[in-house]
Structure formats: structure tokens, C-alpha cells
Amino acid sequence: MRTTMVIILFAANLLPSMVMAESDYVVQINADQPRRAQVTASIEPGQHGLCFIRSAEDTGLTHGWTTFIHKLSVTDPDGRSVNAAYDGEGCWRLNSTGRVTVSYTMLLLHDKFPNMPGDDELAYAGDWGQFWTGRALFIEGKPSAAVTVEFLLPPDWAVTAPWPSAGNTGLIFAPTDTDAVFDSGLMLGKHESLKFSRGNAVIHMGFNGAGPRARRAELREIFDRSLGSFTDLHAAPTVGDLAVFLGKGRVLGGGVIGNTISMLVVDEVPDTLMPMLAYIVIHEVFHLWNANLNYANQEDMYWFTEGFAEYFSHFELLQQGILEGKTLLGRFEERAGKYAAAAGQLSMAEAGQKKLDHYNLIYSGGMMATLALDMHILKTSNGRHRMADVMPALYTRFGVETEVPLDLDTFAAVIEEQTGVDCSGILRRYVTGTEVLITAPLMEQLAGTL
């Protein structure tokens, strides 16, 4: 990026038009330094001080997001320096408990590090601008229900973020709370944006790179239709506004952070690649529901989180006409083979502790376990019920605000309550146990339902 501009430096007392919130963040980007973001935050320290700790352990970096911090300083309301001691675990401990102003530069080098697969979704840059997640950009203090985020950007840059706008500049936002800040993604730069509504939710989509831009109309349609299908499946809409970001990447991949879907897409997307891209989009849309349930132990239930997303995503591909029935069966048979090659030594529940090391046991195995449950329910109930009938109760009973957590026992209890079918044996033998599913009869039974 070779454009230049004059940057106006920010100071809190120079913006009298802004209402002081409990937490204020200002992000400044200089076009001459496209891999830097200068952040100024006016916040109160939290229990552990000022931190970058949300999912930082997933990066594989010893110091997580703080690896990329440059020149952090803290001052009190009178402009006096406050001592901030780094604790080695992502937090700065302060000798002050009141509101402070924190200033630091975040170096956008995340996508240049050999991190675990998928981590370049968390922050990456190109000649178009920058993508960040809130947890990788903003420092966290005391939880707050009154937040503002302002951007000072080059004149040809824009922001796409899943937050309500504060004013008409398109550069100041009022997230609902600090969770909405840290569990979101945002695109800054010369990207393309779409915005539309479904029910009470506003969906913000950002695209950069030739592949995502060329397919933006199709991608919006796939996303919108799958959002509608899974809203019906769970008998509940997603909560709050959503963001979907599709950026240029080396390979196809995606993830969900809160109400944000982040995907990387290769620069050329021929027609032959669209079914795979559609599958990834639909898989991530499904996670807007099941990835955020109240789990007793997330690792034990990764087979469920990923397996159910795999299973229902394939039927959504069928419903949207992206796959035919014969092709869907071929996909299931292929995944059955991958599961069989990985199964027998380690249980699906145990494999969740290192799910990427046991990809085919978690994803393909979880998909086969879901098939086994679905076909068992269908057969035992004499065709009256299927797993889809259980989904609304799962989402209602184990949403993030519920007190009873989802584990294998409560999962089996809800299935039996909703369908009258006992599935505890399947879970005990094939999920917590290492017995290998015989998938050929399941495939025949599935074929009879299509």
C-alpha cells in the first residue's frame, strides 16, 4: 500500500462529542504502516489487571497475543505514569485500581508465524487492509456494559464489524458489552461489504481477495439460506447481530468466534470448488448454535460439536441443491473410511483433548456417531422421530445462560425425553468407548431415507 495521509493523533480530551463510556477504545491506522494498529484504551483494570488472555493459549505462542505488543504504556486520569508489570501470562499488573489510559502498538504479524492451523484467521493483512478479532487487538480490563470503539483510518478505508453504529460516520461503534468486543471480528480497509437483515439480526459481510469478491452474491445466498434452515432446526434464531468475513488465504478454512464467522478462501474459486466452499460456510453457520452451548467439558464434546455440524451441513447442501443424493452418500462413505482408519485405539471423547491431532476421529467419527444416533432413533421410533426433533430441546436446555451443563449423560437424557429412544448404549460403546461402528448397514439405512 503506497498511499499516504496526515494522521491526527487521538487524545481523549480532544473528543468532547463522545460520551464517556465505561470502556473506550480508539484504533488508529497509518496507511504507510499497514501492519500496525495504534490502540488507545480508557478502561478500569480487571481482576488480573490489563490482559490479552482470551483463547491466547490456542495460538501455540508462549505469550499469546502479547507477542505482538510494542511500547505499552499506562497513565492515570491526571496523565501520570502508572507502573505496569507484565506477569508472563498475558496480563499487566498495576499499582492502581482506578480508570487508566493504556496506549500500545499491536504489530500485525500473526499470519507470518507458524502457528497452529487456522490461527491466521485471527489477524491477517493484505494490500486491501487488515482483519482482526477483538481478542487479538484490544486489551481487556474490568467487564463493562457500556463500550465505544472508534477508528481513525486512511480516507479510503472503511470498517465492517457486527456492532451497532454510534453516529453516522461509520467509524464509531457501541458494542453491547465487552464480550461483544472480544468475541467479534472486524475488517478494516478497502474491502467490500454487504449488510442485510434476517428477523431482528443484522448480518454484516466483508470480502477481500478476487475469489471471495467474485462469489459474494452466491456466498450471501448460501449463508442466508443456511441461517434460515438452522434457525428452523433449532427453533430459535441466533442472538444478536452477526458478521461473516471471507478473505484471501492460502487454503480454504474457517472458524467461529462468538457471533463472527471468519473464513479464508483461495484467490481463484472455479465452479468445481464452490461445493467445498459452500460446505465450509454452512458448517460454520451451524456452529453459531452448537459451539456456544454450556458444556460441562468442551473437549469431551468436540465429537458432538464438529460431528453434528458435519452431519447437518451435508443435508443442507442437499437441500440447497448443491449436492445430489448420490454424491451425498459418496461423501458419507468416504468419511466412514476415514473414521474406520482412525478408530479403535482412542475414544472420541478422549480425542477431543487434541482434536486437530485426531481430526478424522473427531470430525469423521463424530459424523458417523451422529448418523448412528439418527438412524437408531428413526428405526426404534418406527419412523416417528429423528435427531432433528431433539435439536430445539438441546439448544433450549443447554444454552450459555442455562445452569445444567451438556455432557454425555444429559445429552442421552434429552434424546430419550424427546423421542422415547435410549441412545446411552451407542454413546457408551462408540463415543466414550473404543468399539468401532460398523457403518455399512447405516449407509443402507441412510440411502433409504433420501
Task: Give yes or no: residues 303 and 170 share one domain.
Answer: no
**Residue 345 included in any domain:** yes
**Is 13 a residue whose pLDDT tops 70?**
no
**Residue 51 included in any domain:** yes
**Residue 314 included in any domain:** yes
Confidence of residue 54 (pLDDT cuts 50, 70, 90): confident
**Is 1 a residue whose pLDDT tops 70?**
no
Helix (H, G, I), strand (E, B) or coil at 448: coil
Total of domains in the chain: 2
**Residue 281 included in any domain:** no
pLDDT in tens, 318-359: 999 999 999 999 999 999 999 999 999 999 999 998 888 899
Name the DSSP letter for residue 22.
S
Task: Give yes or no: residues 2 and 151 share one domain.
Answer: yes
**Residue 200 included in any domain:** no
**Residue 184 included in any domain:** no
Return the percentage of the chain with pLDDT > 70, whole number: 94
**Residue 223 included in any domain:** no
Domain that holds residue 383: 299-447
Do the beta carbons of residue 45 and residue 92 sit within 8 Å? no
Determine the Cα–Cα distance for residues 342 and 309; give it in Å rounded to an integer: 19
**Is 446 a residue whose pLDDT tops 60?**
yes
Last residue of a domain, one of 112, 145, 175: 175
pLDDT at position 229, please?
96
Q: What percent of the residues of the chain are helix, what percent strand, and what percent coil, each to the nearest 5?
A: 40, 25, 40
**Is 116 a residue whose pLDDT tops 60?**
no
Neighbours of 197 (CB within 10 A): 9
C-alpha distance from residue 292 to each of 51, 65, 406, 413 (Å):
23, 23, 11, 20
C-alpha distance from residue 374 to each of 72, 326, 396, 426, 441 (Å):
53, 19, 20, 11, 13
pTM confidence score: 0.88
**Is 117 a residue whose pLDDT tops 70?**
no
pLDDT at position 251, please?
78
Last residue of a domain, one of 140, 175, 210: 175
Residue 233 forms beta bridges with which residues? Answer: none
Strand extents, DSSP E, 233-388 = 242-248, 253-257, 260-265
Confidence of residue 56 (pLDDT cuts 50, 70, 90): confident
Do the beta carbons of residue 293 and residue 406 sit within 8 Å? yes
Average pLDDT over residues 198-206: 89
Here the CATH number for the domain that contains residue 433 is 1.10.390
Last residue of a domain, one of 153, 175, 197: 175
pLDDT in tens, 374-409: 999 999 999 999 999 999 999 999 987 888 899 999
Return the percentage of the chain with pLDDT > 90, whole number: 73
**Is 267 a residue whose pLDDT tops 60?**
yes
Mean pLDDT of the chain: 89
**Is 130 a residue whose pLDDT tops 90?**
yes
Average pLDDT over residues 253-274: 89
Helix (H, G, I), strand (E, B) or coil at 359: helix
Name 221's Cβ contacts closer than 8 Å, sequence gap at least 6. Answer: none
pLDDT in tens, 57-76: 767 788 888 999 999 999 99
Q: Is 400 exposed, middle or buried (CB count within 10 Å of its CB: 0-12, 13-18, 19+)? A: exposed
Task: Give yes or no: residues 171 and 26 share one domain.
Answer: yes
Here the CATH number for the domain that contains residue 32 is 2.60.40.3650
**Residue 222 included in any domain:** no
- Bridge pairing between strands 129-133 and 147-152: unpaired
